[in-house]
Amino acid sequence: MSMLDAKVVAITGASSGIGAATAVELASRGAAVVLGARRTDRLDSLVARIRAEGGRAEMVAVDVTRRTDLEELVAVAVNRFGRLDVLVGNAGVARTAPVADLDLDDWDAMIDVNLRGVLHGIAAALPVFRSQGRGHFVTTVSTSGLKIVPTQAVYAGTKNAVRTLLEALRQESTDGVLRTTSVSPGYVQTELVDYIEDPEQREQHRRAMAAFGIAPDAVARAIAFAIEQPDDVEIGDITIRPARQG
């Protein structure tokens, strides 16, 4: 029997990449998954796949910049499966450019999704976790927050803000009710780089990803490992990247 058999897990950014891989991995281990993303056509297909393979899955249209969407995601989990054990905050956007370019719209997008979106998830799920006496926040951060490089200042800033937020939340929650896990992936084969507007930088990241990026399944397995630990064990930080990444 898997340690995930009785778990109910909600996942944002679940329509592709790490989010979709995590949904499949956790469902295959027995968890009930509630999937949130903006691209509902992809969620439809993913839910159908999980159910066809014998898993339990529901979906909700979620834009993490809207707090009511996160409240709905949590409500669906509780109403459908009776509880929510884990919220995987995976939705994120990446925009790269020198700070001097003053791409304020891109800054706003990253702050709204990468930081405010995580806060919206915490606000929606924390009261449920507290009332249950147990809950786990797993949040996708990035190695970009560990190794600071030019053109990623704002992106790395949002990821480090989330890392700080989760650590503070952990320290405020040492009564055994709440666990937090920050997962920092390196180069992973996802669609994230497709939204980098600068063609030269986009191509540079695509080449690096093609050369040594790891599959999203690797990150999904790391997330499953953190969730599967006994309730009195917390995996606070996981860094997972290609062995060849500098």
Cα–Cα nearest to 156, from 142, 139, 138, 140:
142
Rounded Cα–Cα distance for residues 80 and 182 (Å) = 27
Residue for token pair 């990821």: 159
Q: What is the pLDDT of residue 191?
A: 66
Among 155, 156, 189, 223, the one annotated catalytic? 155
Q: What is the pLDDT of residue 192?
A: 64
Check if the beta carbon of residue 117 is closer than 8 Å to that of residue 89: yes
Q: What is the pLDDT of residue 189?
A: 81
Q: What is the pLDDT of residue 114?
A: 97
pTM, entire model: 0.92
Cβ neighbours of residue 149 closer than 8 Å, sequence gap 6 or more: 156
Q: What is the pLDDT of residue 228?
A: 96
Sites in the chain below the pLDDT cut of 70: 1, 191-198, 202, 205
Domain ranges of the chain: 8-185+215-240
Residue 48: how many other CB atoms lie within 10 Å: 12
Q: What is the pLDDT of residue 197?
A: 66
Rounded Cα–Cα distance for residues 16 and 19 (Å) = 6
Q: What is the pLDDT of residue 244?
A: 80
Q: Reduced to 3 states, what is the DSSP secondary structure of residue 86?
A: strand
Interval 200-230: pLDDT, tens: 776 776 777 777 789 999 999 999 999 999 9
Helical (H) or strand (E) element with 151: none
> Residue 187 catalytic?
no
Cα–Cα nearest to 21, from 54, 46, 48:
46
Q: Which two tokens stand for residue 63?
A: 């834009």
Task: Give helix 67-81 / helix 117-132 axis angle, nearest 10°.
Answer: 30
Among the CATH numbers 3.40.50.720, 3.40.30.10, 3.40.50.2300, 3.40.47.40, which is that of 8-185+215-240? 3.40.50.720
Q: What is the pLDDT of residue 5?
A: 85
